[in-house]
């Protein structure tokens, strides 16, 4: 009986140190299609648009974030993707925004 109580106390005292394992998901953005982008199949499209913005700005060493332009570009990308669902989203961004295709 005493042994069972000690085991129970030990388990209860360990509970604060147990952290649930979070699901870690990685995605190759070069493989995301416009359909997946506009239908939220990967994540919120705004998350992808922000990643794309950072990716392309990083390629040209531009550290300035213009939030108004980011929203307008996300809208342009969405509009392009609506009519080109099978296009990879990185290619769609380069085409819709007139970016030089920098590749992954």
Closest Cα to residue 80, out of 43, 49, 59?
49
Closest Cα to residue 55, out of 98, 99, 25?
99
According to CATH, the topology of domain 26-96 is: 10k-s Protein, Hypothetical Protein A; Chain A (1.10.890)
Per-residue pLDDT tens over the stretch 55-71: 999 999 999 989 999 99
Helix (H, G, I), strand (E, B) or coil at 33: strand
Per-residue pLDDT tens over the stretch 72-82: 999 999 999 99
Domain boundaries defined on the chain:
26-96
pTM of the prediction? 0.71
Two structure tokens written together for 61: 């060493």
Per-residue pLDDT tens over the stretch 13-71: 555 555 555 666 888 999 999 999 999 999 999 999 999 999 999 999 999 989 999 99
């Amino acid at each position: 009986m005493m042994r069972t109580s000690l085991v129970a106390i030990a388990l209860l005292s360990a509970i604060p140190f147990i952290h649930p394992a979070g699901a870690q998901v990685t995605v190759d953005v070069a493989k995301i299609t416009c359909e997946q982008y506009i239908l939220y199949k990967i994540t919120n499209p705004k998350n992808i648009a922000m990643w794309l913005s950072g990716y392309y700005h990083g390629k040209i060493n531009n550290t300035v974030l213009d939030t108004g332009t980011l929203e307008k570009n996300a809208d342009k990308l969405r509009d392009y993707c609506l009519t080109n669902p099978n296009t990879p989203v990185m290619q769609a961004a380069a085409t819709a925004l007139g970016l030089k295709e920098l590749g992954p």
